Structure 1
Amino acid sequence: MGNIRHTFTSPLRHDHTCHLLYSTYSKYEEDWSSYPHTHYFTELFFVLSGSGSFLVEDETFPIAKHDLIVINPNITHTEKSSLEDPLEYIVLGVDGLNFVIDDANEYLLFHSDEMKDRLDFYFRTILEETENSQKDYEKVCQNLLNILVVHLSRYASSSVEIFPFHKMESRECSRAKRYIDSSFRENITLDKLAEIAQINKYYFSHTFTETYGISPMNYLTQKRIFTSQELLTSTDMSLAQIAQQCGFSSSSYFTQCFRKSCGMTPTAYRKQFLRNQ
């Protein structure tokens, strides 16, 4: 499986309702490896060519060229390529975005002949900008993402509403989230976060989950996983060193959490990245 990810070191927030975390290009190869996994953010999955199937929770459906699949945060999903018609796709990781869908699905499968060329342009241009990383490329990508979201809100079915995922953010939850973002390498407990938020820990956990769509401890784990992916692909640090650097109590627990989140072990993730260089 060819898979190349370009991550934003400091995603632009400003007054945008959402911000781009990364763009990933993937193409089916003989070593394809994909397992059900989740993210704390939304993923926009656009098929450039090929066909296959997509699993979301317990539902499987076919996908093909120019399909756009939007996966809400914390929803288990994975993809499977056809052997005869290999999948090639681009994925955007987007924080601050959530889709409210009337039929209770946690994904949107979008296909429009009218929009296909425009979608192809946005996804390819964002990928190209992140690959080249020229001056102000993050601004270009963020602006393209904002336009893409507007077009989706126009052309998607009327049962879909797009809104800022964090719009109900409370001061207490924001304080705890900032602490996680800056101190995730430390030993953090729910009691510690509730103390920082200065509210009862059970109320804090409920409010944080309702605000961000993920529990505080799961958000902490996802933050650590996200950082570990960067270290796996940009350094030759051992798993034990990365586990310690990211705040995991042991390398075995790190591997367990990584596999659950990413669908593969940290070692497999690193090998896959190196094969694609």
Structure 2
Amino acid sequence: MGHRHYSIKMQDIPRMNSRLLSVSLSKDEKDWQSVFHTHHFTEIFFVLNGKGNFLFRNDIHPIKTGDLIIIPPYLEHTEQSIPGMPLEYYVIGIDGIAFQTENNAASAQIFCNFDNRMLIADLFAQMYYEVKTEREGSDLICQHLLEILILRIMRSRHIIPVPITSVRMTKECAQIKEYLDTNYAEHITLETLTSLTHMNKYYMAHSFTKFTGMSPIQYLNRRRLETACQLLRDTDYSVSDISSQTGFSSQSYFTQIFRKFYGITPIKYRQIHTKK
């Protein structure tokens, strides 16, 4: 008779103050509009099948079956499938913690690919099943499964969880960002934003810059430019109409800001991106 016996070494394992907020299973069936968005919590995205790209504002990463992506709070992102290879993926939302690499104090997106991806996929599948069936003890089971997943990620990629309070955007900054994303075509000044949040103008600008890496006006102009690029590519509106629709005070100012950011004029941009 063969016999193997292993003792468990007792260790003081610090508790992870994480809380599972949601679990979803999605498949790109050509009816999904890929748009940049953010969340106030950490997301973990696991590719079950397919190939595509994971997009951030200034970065694109190819993704495939078995890849896992950790997205910190308030980081704009979206995903796109490669034609003929639709992405199917789990996404979980986690409150309480974010992640960082051991040698990097700043929170950032983290990519992992596991040798035993079926083991990781099974953890997501069990969480999804428990949330969907809502049976007795489902919440507790999900919480334990989440902690197992986090430990396996930490073991694989040498990352550490950090309290989400260290990266959380303030309520007021989140309110400003949402307002700018929605009302970018309107006439907006720092005074507009201070009246919205009732914050001191200079403190408001400093706080927003701290959490987004740019001032409110810089963020506003970038948001306007992104929409302008889409209109230049996909419509035949005049440059004057586009500058007006995206909130710029004049066509000349629009052209000046556009050239400074992209290195070319709006007309040249249209010519490049509408070539057959």
Query: Which TM-score band applies after superposition, normalised by the shorter structure?
Result: 0.5 to 0.7
CA distance in 1, matches of 2:155, 2:118: 16
CA deviations 1:17-43 (Å, max 9, x no partner) are 111111111101121212011111110
Pairing 1:222-237 to 2, within 5 Å after superposition:
none
How many percent identity over aligned positions?
35
**Counterpart in the other structure of 1:30:** 30
| CA distance in structure 2 between the aligned counterparts of 1:209 and 1:16, rounded to whole angstroms | 29
SS of 1:84's partner is coil
Mark the CA change 1:204 to 1:91 in structure 2 (over 3 Å): closer, same or farther: same
Which structure 2 residues correspond to residues 205-244 of structure 1 after superposition, within 5 A? none
Q: What one-letter code is carried by the residue in structure 2 that aligns with 1:112?
A: F
Considering only aligned residues, what root-mean-square deviation do their CA atoms show, in Å? 3.2
- Pick the structure with greater CA Rg: 2
**Conserved 8 A contact 1:54-1:63:** yes
1:46 is displaced (CA, Å) by 0.3
- Which amino acid in structure 2 is aligned with residue 39 of structure 1? H
TM, length-normalised to structure 2 = 0.54
Task: Give, in angstroms, the shift of residue 190 of structure 1.
Answer: 4.5
1:129 aligns with 2:130: yes
What's 1:106 paired with?
108
Post-superposition Cα deviations, 1:109-140, rounded to whole Å, max 9, x if no partner, equal 100214x1221111111011111111121111
1:90-127 deviations in Å (ceiling 9; x for gaps): 0001111211234667200100214x122111111101
Structure 1 pair 138–29 and aligned structure 2 pair: CA distance change class (3 A) = same
What residue identity is the alignment partner of 1:107? Q
Contact 1:70 1:107 in 2 (8 A): yes
Q: Residues 204 and 105 of structure 1: is their aligned pair in 2 closer, same or farther, counting only changes over 3 Å?
A: closer
Matched, 1:142 2:140: no
| Corresponding position of 1:162 | 161
Cα separation, 1, equivalents of 2:209 and 2:130: 34
Report SS of the residue matched to 2:54.
strand
Q: Is the 8 A contact 2:38 2:77 kept in 1?
A: yes
Q: Residue 94 and residue 201 in structure 1: after superposition, are their counterparts in 2 closer, same or farther (change >3 A)?
A: farther
Q: What count of residue pairs does the alignment treat as equivalent?
A: 174
AA matched with 2:127: I
> For 2:141 and 2:201, how far apart are their aligned partners in 1?
41
Check whether the contact 1:190–1:201 (CA below 8 A) recurs between aligned residues.
no
8 Å contact kept, 1:54–1:78 = yes
For residue 41 of structure 2, what is the aligned residue in structure 1? 41
Aligned-partner Cα distance in 1 for 2:140–2:209 = 30
Distance in 1 (CA, whole Å) between partners of 2:32 and 2:124 is 22
Pair 1:204–1:52, CA change in 2 (3 A): closer
In 2, the alpha carbon distance for the partners of 1:87 and 1:68 equals 13
Unaligned runs of 5+ in 2: 1-14, 173-195, 213-276
Cα distance change of structure 1 residues 136 and 79 upon mapping to structure 2, 3 Å threshold? same
Please say if residues 42 and 95 of structure 2, whose CA atoms lie closer than 8 Å, have aligned partners that are also in contact. yes
The residue type equivalent to 1:67 in the other structure is D
Q: Using structure 1 for the length normalisation, give the TM-score.
A: 0.54
Looking at both structures, which has the greater relative contact order when contacts are Cα pairs under 8 Å and sequence separation is at least 6? 1
Kept after mapping to 1: 8 A contact 2:53/2:80: yes
Contact conserved, 2:98 with 2:107, CA < 8 A, in 1? no
Q: 1:203 to 1:123 in 2, by over 3 A?
A: same
Secondary structure class of the residue paired with 1:55: strand
- Going from structure 1 to structure 2, the CA distance change for 1:17 and 1:205 (only over 3 Å counts) comes to farther
Q: Matched residues in 2 for 1:136 and 1:202: separation?
A: 49
Contact 1:71 1:106 in 2 (8 A): yes
Amino acid across the alignment from 2:57: E
Aligned to 1:87: 87
Question: What is the deviation of 1:54?
Answer: 0.4
**Paired AA for residue 75 in structure 1:** L
Query: Following TM superposition, by how much is the alpha carbon of 1:163 offset from its aligned partner in structure 2, in angstroms?
Result: 2.0
